[in-house]
Structure 1
Amino acid sequence: MKLSRSTLSVALLAALFAPAAHAEIALDVIGGSEISFEGLVQAEGNWYDNDLVDLNSAGTGGTAASAGANGKDTEFGIRRAEIILKGKGPGNFEWTLGYDPSAQKSVAVVNESNNGATNVTSTVNSGGKWLDVNAKYKIGGNANHYVQVGQYKQPNSLEELSSTRFNDFISKAAVTNTYAVARRTGVAYSYGDVNWSVTGAYFGRELTRNLGQGQGFGLRGTWAPINETGNILHVGLAYVDYDTDADTFRLRSRPDADLATQRLVDSGDIRDTDRVGIGSAEGLWVHGPFKVQGEYYQANLKRYGAGHDDYKSDGGYISGVWNVTGETWGYKAGVPVTNLPEDPGAGMWQVGLRYDTLDLNDGSGNPTTGAVAGVLGGKQNIWTAGVNWYWRSNFKFALNYVMVDTTKWSTVARGEVDDNPNIVEGRIQFYW
């Protein structure tokens, strides 16, 4: 499936003239289903101030076939080019069909992003990626009580479940990319009201070949004791549990730079593994033009065989965003909703600050021999400062400054080695 230049041009022009309050494009009514067309294009640039590791080289974390990997201090590319068809009806049915023809997938990687990784990257193929492909039935016509079948984001992670087009920062927090289970095929049941929800799901692999695999289940509960315009308090708990693929598991993280080819913290391949369980707690507070949110994750990996201890790791983030132009947020289905600018011509300005931390260590090193007992994947602490400008109903411009502080055990150095790069990131986004 390819997105032709003519098709994209028509879509862009149509979106430019779409009404501000209804960004998606209505296409037709077929078989009682009202069909609309949505899209998202994100172009990004990264500028690296490297410390030890060249963040844009193949090195030992990838191959020459890896995307980017040119050894330069800059990298530019299309991050997403999503095309989505949606249908409402007949009756209480809804459906979604989404695809990203620009997405690259690693042939030898399982669960690399948003699912935990299991194998070393070998090659990268540009072949596209399936997004949401599912059908939903609203029981009794209630949007908060439904059954869903197909591929969808699993019930975990406040940040992962929030819309990509409205993320507060260019890269999701490292813990979200490391621990959150994103889209998988399965079946889900959810029941709730405007202030609370309980969702359970059973899932398998991703539709796109060679990506997320491993059967499992997920549970998420949310409660918003305060849910008023400009005044929201939300808390939630989630848990996912799934099989590791080929009895091998791996966790690693980019330094909050999606175009980087290197990871500064990496557990390496952990063999003889059975299942992994990941629990998380989340919180959100909105007061007028201010929003604070945070999440904490803990992963527990079960192993078998003599001499193999279970592996534990954890991490979290906290962020704050201020809408300088005065807009506030909404709340729907257990996630915050970013509103359109009150003055479309002037746009909406945001400034934000985030701190996220990830600890992949569960072992010790011998300073005499350099040998490792357990797993020493490293620790990573990152500060991100960002500015966003939402212009009219279809455009967003973002600029982030990222300060990375990592420490990882080195067998050669027989001790911990620091690597503290800085990164400037920019994004231009068009959506309809």
Structure 2
Amino acid sequence: MRSIKAYPLPLLALALVATPVAAQDADHHTSEAEVAALRAQVAALSDQLAVLNARIDAMAQQAPAQPVIAVPTSAPAAAAPVVTSAHPVEISMGAAPEVESDDGFSFKPFGRLQLDAGWTSLPDGLGREDGFGAEVRRARIGVEGDIPGGFGYKMEIDVATGEAELTDALLTYEAGDIELTVGQHNTFQGLEELTSSRFTSFIERAAFTDAFGFERRLGVSAQYGKGPVLVQAGVFADNIADLPESSAWSADGRVVYFPEVGGTQLHFGASAHYTDIADGGSVRYRQRPLVHFTGERLINTGNLAADSEFGLGVELAAIRGPFHFAAEGFRQQVSGLGLAEDTASFTGGYVEGGLFLTSGDSRGYRGGRWNRTRPARPVGEGGIGAIQANLRYDYLELNDSDVGVLGGSQNAYQASLIWTTTDFTRLQVNYGRMEYDDAVFALPNGTRDYSADVIGMRAEFDF
């Protein structure tokens, strides 16, 4: 507001007087009395103006200061447009970025790289390949996230062989304590089989999980989880790489109870598996000596004509502080071996114990499976990471003399040393003493009972 003080009172008075004075000069009949009255009015008006100006000054002192606006001498460059969205996006960072919107969409990339090397030492005269070996064991990349309405998705490929192989491709739906899954995913065959290779205690899983052909399959499954109880079941076709040629289907189920009692995490589980094999189909059970980079399989049933499989498994595990214990067993029956009534039975299992040598570290566990180990003092943050030592006895029996199947048996005594440097990186070295009976390859003297020594090493990173 502009103050009336901008026009000095003497000038204002002069302006008010000027007209009557001029009129007086022009009209000599104006009386001196009228002039005096006019002057009195001007004086009164001046007093009123002074009071009004004082009030304006007081109001100006009480009002907040107005910003000073600087007018540039030249026009500024046009400002970049501001883009707004009805659904803001939030980006968070862990080992990989995760993009989330407030309306329920999310997107997160993930992956792993595992590099293996080592040696196999087979008996002299066996005539099988041994010595140094190496491979990219896994090189996977994938994406996962949420979709509004309780839906989720996951897709992963493995390019370790130089060709893209689809591992997981699935959609999920959560409704309270129940989760439904459609797509290619793991069936429900035991603690170690369902544990990610990033978190296992040895370079490879127990021999029976590979020998009996446990794998991801295309199917539909449901999972119920509440508190320490987990129930899983599903119906599956074959692995997506074998479709549509394969017409086999399977049904799988698993029940787990994992209470925590007095600071000890316990795990009790059981699983069942049935596969219907197409007419004219066959099965083959075989296994490498500990490491994957060797192509030698010293126990092997060969191809067996079969019409179905039925398997039962049991699981037991415990974690207390730096110590863990685990044991599993699985019995696989195969029916239709030549004659409809012929059934062969094979068994496998392991028992292991492990101990962290670094203070404050413990094996990770979550929801019925082993989980990530997070070092209490990782490398780069003033510590040396987590160091874990493990021992395992691994057994696999592929003989059933009642039906004339002689695939051999394996008794393996194994040790591993794992150095988990950070949450997402680790190094490990494994040793295995493999003792075979009735192996498929004979020594020059005809014996099929002998031993082999294996060393495997792995460097890995995941995000």
- Asked if Structure 1 and Structure 2 have the same fold, meaning a TM-score greater than 0.5 normalized by the shorter chain, the answer is yes
Residue aligning to 2:152: 94
Please say if 1:401 is aligned against 2:431: yes
Residue aligning to 1:49: 121
Greater helix proportion: 2
Deviation at 1:163? Answer: 1.4
Residue aligning to 2:415: 385
SS of the counterpart of 1:417?
A: coil
2:328 equivalent among 295, 312, 326: 295
* Preserved contact between residue 384 and residue 402 of structure 1 (Cα < 8 Å): yes
Deviation at 1:208? Answer: 2.3
The superposition leaves residues 148-194 of structure 1 with CA deviations (integer Å, 9 ceiling, x where unpaired) of 11011111111010111111010111012123622111000111213
Residue aligning to 1:35: 107
Residue aligning to 1:132: 168
The superposition leaves residues 184-226 of structure 1 with CA deviations (integer Å, 9 ceiling, x where unpaired) of 1100011121301111100011122479872010010001233
* Preserved contact between residue 86 and residue 97 of structure 1 (Cα < 8 Å): yes
Residue aligning to 2:294: 260
Amino acid aligned to 2:163: G
Q: Which runs of 5+ in 2 are unaligned?
A: 1-91
* Preserved contact between residue 54 and residue 262 of structure 1 (Cα < 8 Å): no
Amino acid aligned to 1:34: S
Please say if 1:172 is aligned against 2:205: yes
Name the CA shift for 1:54/1:171 in 2 (closer, same or farther; >3 Å). farther
SS of the counterpart of 1:76?
A: strand
Distance of 2:375 and 2:332 partners within structure 1: 39
Name the CA shift for 1:255/1:32 in 2 (closer, same or farther; >3 Å). same
SS of the counterpart of 2:253?
A: strand
Deviation at 1:32? Answer: 4.0
Residue aligning to 2:83: none
Q: TM-score, normalised by structure 1?
A: 0.78
Q: 26-35 vs 166-175, which deviates more?
A: 26-35
Structure number with greater CO (CA < 8 Å, separation at least 6) is 1
Deviation at 1:332? Answer: 2.1
Distance of 2:346 and 2:193 partners within structure 1: 19
Distance of 1:186 and 1:206 partners within structure 2: 9
Distance of 2:211 and 2:440 partners within structure 1: 22
* Preserved contact between residue 51 and residue 420 of structure 1 (Cα < 8 Å): yes
SS of the counterpart of 2:258?
A: strand
Q: TM-score, normalised by structure 2?
A: 0.73
CA RMSD of aligned residues (A): 2.6
Distance of 1:23 and 1:203 partners within structure 2: 33
Q: Which runs of 5+ in 1 are unaligned?
A: 1-17, 58-70, 104-125, 365-372
The superposition leaves residues 42-92 of structure 1 with CA deviations (integer Å, 9 ceiling, x where unpaired) of 00002122115869x6xxxxxxxxxxxxx4511111000010101123231
**Equivalent residue pairs, number:** 364
Distance of 1:26 and 1:131 partners within structure 2: 21
Distance of 1:100 and 1:30 partners within structure 2: 32
Distance of 2:227 and 2:286 partners within structure 1: 36
State the percentage of identical aligned residues. Answer: 27
Distance of 2:287 and 2:109 partners within structure 1: 33
* Preserved contact between residue 151 and residue 183 of structure 1 (Cα < 8 Å): yes
Amino acid aligned to 2:313: S
Residue aligning to 2:448: 417
SS of the counterpart of 1:166?
A: coil
Q: 189-198 vs 300-309, which deviates more?
A: 300-309
Name the CA shift for 1:98/1:409 in 2 (closer, same or farther; >3 Å). closer
Structure with bigger gyration radius: 2
* Preserved contact between residue 378 and residue 421 of structure 2 (Cα < 8 Å): yes
Name the CA shift for 1:400/1:411 in 2 (closer, same or farther; >3 Å). closer
SS of the counterpart of 2:211?
A: helix
SS of the counterpart of 2:109?
A: strand
Deviation at 1:336? Answer: 2.5
Distance of 1:396 and 1:53 partners within structure 2: 37
* Preserved contact between residue 44 and residue 427 of structure 1 (Cα < 8 Å): yes
SS of the counterpart of 1:39?
A: strand
Residue aligning to 2:254: 220
Name the CA shift for 1:152/1:409 in 2 (closer, same or farther; >3 Å). closer
Greater strand proportion: 1
Name the CA shift for 1:232/1:309 in 2 (closer, same or farther; >3 Å). same
